[in-house]
């Protein structure tokens, strides 16, 4: 999609939030246009879930259903739009998502005749080069706003996704009643909260841990709740954690993005209710909850106050550039986290950081393990060791007699 930005058009949203899933098709070699559009739509109050570029129609449909997206926007410059847009529509129908509209654009590659053909096939709208972004944002707000009511015909991931949407839209008092008190549970999936500063590599690490769940267990499912901050002015958001979620393209993974919508804890206010819905579904063996990038006093999973915890275990992820030993004394979750990972250990500062973190954790006298990881490297032995530790804590023995990852420590 190629469009024109109008300066000074950012404004707070009114009415329900519109959640748009955007993606770039297979064989489309860049995402410069859609990245610009994503930012501008968020600046105008929409929540944009970005899937990434070089995406298959099946991955787009899966994500749209799990996100309960109001619409799917495709940016296509490779000339294959007549086939690809129709394939996305077909995949949506196959996944109980026939009601999710598809729109898109492609600069000069989609002609007016092509647009008419796509609209006859069921594509809602094609935007052409030069369309002002204010016009696009207004049309998306007008055409794709819908109430988040339950639908009796939904089942599986679509029903769960719509229930989470209802929780997001519910008043705070109703969410609190639904979620109830948090406690460590003897049944149901184990929940692991993952926190850390922005840029520590949380999303990539979660994806690598997800790959190990899928590899070591032939059955069972994993759910991921990924929280991202909302824009303080417009209320929009870029929900971009799916870009790193390569293994979320497996049907055994349920992935849902949540915007904080002004909630100051590092999680969406709907996260507790969403967790309860995931637990109640009976579909999952393990749940990861990723907070937004946190600060020194942050405690998104309520592990420091002595009250009921939001999750069963907390993993704190840091990178070597945390600023030195004095800064380590200020990070509250270093006292309360059950597991600590020093990620990006291919950084030259990693050896010093590992020594300082080891000393800091030893001073706690809680027996907290430190795992040195390089999540950006597939088959990293440090991530293997971290997965084994998490799986052991969660009681996830390898299914089907398979061998677990080797427990090695990345030096």
Options 3.60.15.10, 3.40.50.10260, 3.20.180.10, 3.40.50.300; which CATH number does 184-401 get? 3.40.50.300
Instruction: Name the β-bridge partners of 237.
Output: 47
* CATH code for the domain defined by 16-144: 3.40.50.280
Mean confidence (pLDDT) of the chain: 89
Residue 28's pLDDT is what? 86
Q: Can you give the pLDDT at residue 255?
A: 98
What are the strands, taking DSSP E only, across 199-277?
A: 222-228, 237-239, 253-259
Q: CB of 57 within 8 A of CB of 88?
A: yes
Neighbours of 123 (CB within 10 A): 22
Helices and strands, number each (H, E), in the chain: 13, 15
- Mean pLDDT along residues 354-378: 96
- Smallest CA-to-CA distance from 21 within 46, 40, 56 is with 46
The predicted model gives 330-351 an average pLDDT of 96
pLDDT tens for 269-324 read: 999 999 999 999 999 999 999 999 999 999 999 999 877 899 999 999 999 999 88
Cα separation of 309 and 395, whole Å?
Answer: 19
pTM: 0.90
Which of 366, 377, 367, 373 shows the shortest CA–CA distance to 388? 373
Residue 138 has pLDDT above 60, yes or no: yes
For 39, 294, 390, the CA distances from 320, given in Å and listed in that order, are 29, 16, 22
Domain with CATH 3.40.50.280 in the chain: 16-144
52-89 confidence digits (pLDDT tens): 999 999 999 999 999 999 999 999 999 999 999 999 99
Check pLDDT > 60 for residue 357: yes
* Whether residue 207 has pLDDT greater than 90: yes
- Nearest-angstrom CA–CA distance, 224 and 227: 10
Give the model's confidence band at 108: pLDDT under 50 very low, under 70 low, under 90 confident, else very high.
confident
The tens digit of pLDDT for each residue in 155-200 reads 999 999 999 999 998 876 455 555 544 444 557 899 999 999 999 9
pLDDT confidence band for 149 (50 / 70 / 90): low
Task: Starting at the earlier edge strand, list the strands of the sheet with 222-228.
Answer: 253-259, 222-228, 286-290, 190-195, 313-318, 339-342, 370-372
What is the predicted pLDDT for the residue at 107? 81
Identify the pLDDT of residue 1.
55
Q: Is the pLDDT of residue 7 over 80?
A: no
Write out the residue limits of the CATH 3.40.50.300 domain(s) in the chain: 184-401
Higher pLDDT, 7 or 287: 287
* Confidence at residue 8, expressed as pLDDT on a 0 to 100 scale: 43
**27 pLDDT band (50/70/90 cuts)?**
confident
**pLDDT tens sequence across 220-267:** 999 999 999 999 999 999 999 999 999 999 999 999 999 999 999 999
Mean pLDDT of 330-341: 96
Of the candidates 287, 285, 283, 251, which has an alpha carbon nearest to the alpha carbon of residue 271?
287
- In the predicted structure, residue 6 carries a pLDDT above the cut 60: no
**How far apart are alpha carbons 51 and 37 in whole angstroms?**
14
Is the distance from CB of 326 to CB of 353 less than 8 angstroms? no
In this structure, which long-range contacts are made by residues 144-147, counting pairs with CB atoms below 8 Å and at least 24 apart in sequence? 144/18, 144/20, 144/70, 144/71, 144/101, 145/15, 145/16, 145/18, 145/70, 146/16, 146/70, 147/16
């Amino acid at each position: 999609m190629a469009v024109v930005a109008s300066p000074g058009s950012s404004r707070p949203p009114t009415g329900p939030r519109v959640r748009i899933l955007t993606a770039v098709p297979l064989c489309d070699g860049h995402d410069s246009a859609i990245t610009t559009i994503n930012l501008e739509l968020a600046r105008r109050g929409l929540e944009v879930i970005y899937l990434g570029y070089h995406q298959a129609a099946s991955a787009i449909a899966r994500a749209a259903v799990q996100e309960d997206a109001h619409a799917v926007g495709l940016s296509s410059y490779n000339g294959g739009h007549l086939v690809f847009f129709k394939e996305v529509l077909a995949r949506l129908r196959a996944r109980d998502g026939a009601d999710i509209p598809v729109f898109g654009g492609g600069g000069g590659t989609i002609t007016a005749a092509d647009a008419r053909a796509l609209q006859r096939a069921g594509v809602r709208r094609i935007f052409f080069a030069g369309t002002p972004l204010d016009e696009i944002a207004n049309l998306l707000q007008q055409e794709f706003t819908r109430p988040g009511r339950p639908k009796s015909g939904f089942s599986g991931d679509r029903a769960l996704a719509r229930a989470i949407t209802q929780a997001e839209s519910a008043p705070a008092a109703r969410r609190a009643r639904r979620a109830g008190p948090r406690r460590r549970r003897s049944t149901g999936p184990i929940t692991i909260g993952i926190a850390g500063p922005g840029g520590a590599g949380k999303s990539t690490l979660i994806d690598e841990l997800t790959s190990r769940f899928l590899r070591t267990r032939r059955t069972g499912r994993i759910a991921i709740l990924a929280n991202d901050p909302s824009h303080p002015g417009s209320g929009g958001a870029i929900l971009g954690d799916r870009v790193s979620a390569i293994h979320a393209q497996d049907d055994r993974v349920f992935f849902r993005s949540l915007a904080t919508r002004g909630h100051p804890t590092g999680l969406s206010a709907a996260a507790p209710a969403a967790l309860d819905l995931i637990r109640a579904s009976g579909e999952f063996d393990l749940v990861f909850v990723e907070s937004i990038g946190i600060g020194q006093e942050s405690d998104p999973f309520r592990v420091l106050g002595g009250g009921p915890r939001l999750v069963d275990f907390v993993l704190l992820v840091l990178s070597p550039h945390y600023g030195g030993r004095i800064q380590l004394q200020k990070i509250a979750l270093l006292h309360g986290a059950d597991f600590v990972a020093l990620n990006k250990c291919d950084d030259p500062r990693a050896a010093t950081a590992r020594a300082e973190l080891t000393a800091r954790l030893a001073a706690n006298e809680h027996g907290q393990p430190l795992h040195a990881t390089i999540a950006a490297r597939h088959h990293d032995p440090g991530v293997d060791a971290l997965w084994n530790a998490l799986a052991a804590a969660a009681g996830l023995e390898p299914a089907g007699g398979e061998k677990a990852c080797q427990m090695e420590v990345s030096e």
